[in-house]
Structure 1
Amino acid sequence: MESSRPFQCYYCRQRLSQAANPNYRPVILCPGCNLEIKVKRSAIFDAANEGFGPVKSLCPNIRNFQHISLLRKRTETSPRRSTPLNSKPSPFERSFKPRPKKRAVLCGVSYKETKYKLKGTINDVKNMRELLMTKFEYQSEDILVLTEDEDETHHPTKKNIEKALEWLVKDCGKGESLVFYFSGHGLRQPDFNDDEIDGFDETICPVDFKKEGMILDNYINTTIVKPLREGVTLHAIVDACHSGTILDLVYIYNRNTKKWENNHPPSGVSKATVGGLAICISACEDDKLASDTSAFTGKSMNGVLTYILIDNVKKNENLTYADLLDKIQDAIDHFNTNDHCLVGSKFLQKFFTNRITQKAQLSSSEKFCASKREFKL
């Protein structure tokens, strides 16, 4: 009977019943969190259909309301077919003579048709690709894109991501700039090799991670950090949960003290390059979560780190790494104070206080002056 059908508060996940709303009022008050809930008479409440983006974590013990994104109505009844982003022939297949000075791998995993679905990752990839091409003069044929909107040879499977990472650094030489970008789910698992100060390995999740497994930070370090030769610079930008030390780089920048902190493995195993420089900007600390949201645009879903980073790089010339970290955190703090300039929404102003808790992390294979070195990809 319709009046007894249960539904959930999308904020605190309190299970309610239509029986508690006999007059079918369009809005009722949740007894768990006092949030005003719009009630649908004909269906069980489905948060996904109301535009709430999930946290970029698969941890079952984390409550998703910590990173609720902007409520918005679904405007499409069926997905649109996207224009392929990879050039033809595929970067996988092209022979480089000579090898280009700039090369990038952009990976966005949306986990379509699963309960882990993310809505902003492909938008993130498109925006990052546009930034590389317009701001940093990367050529489209030198950018390898892995998303579920591409053909099967460019889906972000574990095999394809590993192949792409190998492609990124193969035969790299002096003067080259490389970029690895990932937007998707991230997890962590116990470290049994004494390689991690906190006792956990960080991971990224390919689209087939349930079948093929995750990609560990140890593998990423071995594949794209250790082979870096003198004069080669690699930037990794990872918009995922638990991504703070996803490259296992040995120095972490403390934004408050303006100093580099030690992250060398307790086991003493080498995580260094063979002369090159690896720099990583990640969405949050190793034990924290990152989120997708439409709150900054009011329209499309985006990763918080990706959106703010791209926005600031476009707007500011001669931006240093320290400046960029500060501006990312300032934007998050600004958002959390419910400033109407960021999001002109009474809904957000009322319910989003301190909902974005992530803090971007900067790590590196060697120390440098973050307040003087200009951010360049």
Structure 2
Amino acid sequence: MKFIVKLSLVCWIIFISGLPCFGARRALLVGISDYRALPDVVKGRMLSDLRGPINDVKAMEQALLAYGFKKSEIKVLTNQWATRERLEGSFRDWLTDGTGQGDTVVFYFSGHGTQVKDFNGDEKDGLDEVLCPYDTDPKTGNNTIVDDEFGSWLRRLHDRTVVVIVDSCYSGDAIRGIRGVTVSRLESVATRRIKNISFASYNPPPICRGLARGVTDVPPGVVFMGASMEWQPAFEIRRHGSFYGGFTFGLTAKMRELVNPTYGELFDRAKHMVMDGMRLPQTPVMFADARVAKRPAFGGKVYESPIPKPDIEKREKVLVAMEPGEGGGDQDFWAIRKALSRLDFVRLCQSSDFFDRLLQVEKKSDGFSAKLINRIGDVEYLNTSSVDDLIQKLKKRLEYAYTVKNLSRITNPRPPFRIHLWLQDEDRRDFWVGERIGFKVKSERDAYILIINVDTEGNFHIIFPNKYQKENLV
């Protein structure tokens, strides 16, 4: 089963009954930020707690309430209450025994996940995927939930409509590329949390050794939705002063915002928010029968009060953190810090806090060598002869970051009508310089369309209307 690896961050598993479901509803939401045995060093790597799962659970709870779930129908397990024993018992008592034919069941998990050796030969890649409860042992892998076992739990819910959302991840590369060509390298940053635990040794529970080869982890008739490809990292983001899983934030935002979306529409809008709104380097994926994808998500939407519009007049400064490198003295460090503080679009912060850019500076014999790292780990190298030279180079880049940050805040969550803009090649996000790019646009009403591009150098271009197509009324 590839509900963690093949769909790295978030997977939906939906059992579809033959008829629309109007039965009872039950949800079990699990979020683990603070693990009992973490932080710990395993295989020479520091394994850390997470920041977003508790907020993820709260966001998912609010989204389900918007779809008509009652508080009494939602059970929540967080941190120390989400042990392996309690999680399994709650799944059995609350979901399996507490529901019947025709009912709707939702299981949500946000926390660490990983891969282990497949002992029963049912995985083509030789690896099983596991969920990590609160009391997981990072050295031995004890108290985990292997996908084979989780699949046996799900088979007991065969006559119900079941939605499983798993917000965890297997791993991610440290290099991003276009068509196999490396275009940027990722540095480890404080805002990046990969939801993965690598065990020093692992001995599977008896059920994993005993399951016959060929037994499907999840019964037929399922829909998978995942936040990233198997080789991509899973990111947490900061919104409204708190951390969330990127796809979970996008998904729950669209659950609250859209009126009566289908599963396909809900996924597409969440995918666009992750890739184009948050600009996260991950590609959400969906596998679903076309008939099922066109059904109303969760049976239909309960209206919610409008989301307030942001104040576009209020500008947010670029948050810059600094870390001294080797060879640099305190005098140089504080001189750079003081010069940055004079820029009216910059606010300095600690490297342990959330930041927009992280600056690492080393003193060299001929000047300074600096790394300017964004929130997801993209790094730009700067070599300068003096502090003044470094500040001039940083000023241009930070001013660009400031502009982009404030442009990204302009949104209308409750527009009077909808406009859909997409690429002709819908699966593409990266293009070669000089390559032709085609756009398509659809509007519910007559509207004048203006498309602005901000390139990697911070230059602004109006790409529509243009000299080839001056009429922008759609």
Question: Within 5 A, what are the aligned runs for 1:333-344?
Answer: 333-335=275-277
Deviation, structure 1 residue 196: 1.7
Gaps spanning 5+ residues in structure 2: where?
A: 10-22, 40-47, 172-210, 300-474
CA contact (8 A) 1:241 1:283 kept: no
Matched, 1:358 2:285: no
Q: TM-score, normalised by structure 1?
A: 0.54
Q: Does 1:372 align with 2:298?
A: no
Q: Percent identity?
A: 30
Picking from 74, 99, 103, the partner of 1:143 is 74
Is the 8 Å Cα contact of residues 247 and 274 (structure 2) preserved in structure 1? no
Q: Quick one: which of 302, 315, 333 aligns to 2:244?
A: 302
- 1:118 equivalent in alignment to 2:118: no
Aligned counterpart, 2:29: 106
Query: For the residues of structure 1 that align with 2:30 and 2:60, how far apart are their CA atoms?
Result: 10
1:332 corresponds to 2:254:
no
Letter in 2 for 1:140: K
Residue 289 (1) aligns with residue 233 (2): yes
> Which residue of 2 is the match for residue 219 of structure 1?
149
Q: Residue 84 of structure 2 contacts residue 145 of structure 2 at CA under 8 Å; is this kept in 1?
A: yes
**3-state SS of 2:116 partner:** strand
Residue type of the alignment partner of 2:151: N
Tell me if 1:203 matches 2:133.
no
CA shift for structure 1 position 267:
3.8
Structure 2: which amino acid aligns with 1:228? L
Contact kept in structure 2, 1:156 and 1:206, CA below 8 Å: yes
- Match in the other structure for 1:129: 61
Task: Structure 1 unaligned segments of length 5 or more: list them.
Answer: 1-56, 58-66, 68-99, 244-264, 338-355
Distance 1:175 1:198 in 2: 35
Amino acid at match of 2:214: G
CA–CA distance in structure 2, aligned partners of residues 280 and 144 of structure 1: 23
Equivalence for 1:318 = 260
Letter of the 2:265 counterpart: D
More strand by share: 2
> How does 1:1-377 map onto structure 2 within 5 Å?
101-111=24-34, 114-115=38-39, 116-133=48-65, 135-148=66-79, 155-167=81-93, 168-170=95-97, 172-210=99-137, 212-224=142-154, 226-230=155-159, 232-242=160-170, 267-271=213-217, 273=219, 278-294=222-238, 297-335=239-277, 356-363=280-287, 367-376=289-298
| Partners of 1:309 and 1:158 in 2: CA distance | 27
Closer, same or farther in 2 for the Cα pair 1:104/1:280, shift >3 Å?
A: farther
Count of aligned residue pairs for this structure pair: 227
Q: What amino acid is aligned across from residue 281 of structure 2 in structure 1?
A: T
Return the index of the structure with the highest Cα Rg.
2
Distance 1:370 1:266 in 2: 30
Give the SS at the match of 2:152.
helix
* Residues 284 and 203 (structure 1), Cα distance of their counterparts in 2 relative to 1, 3 Å cut: farther
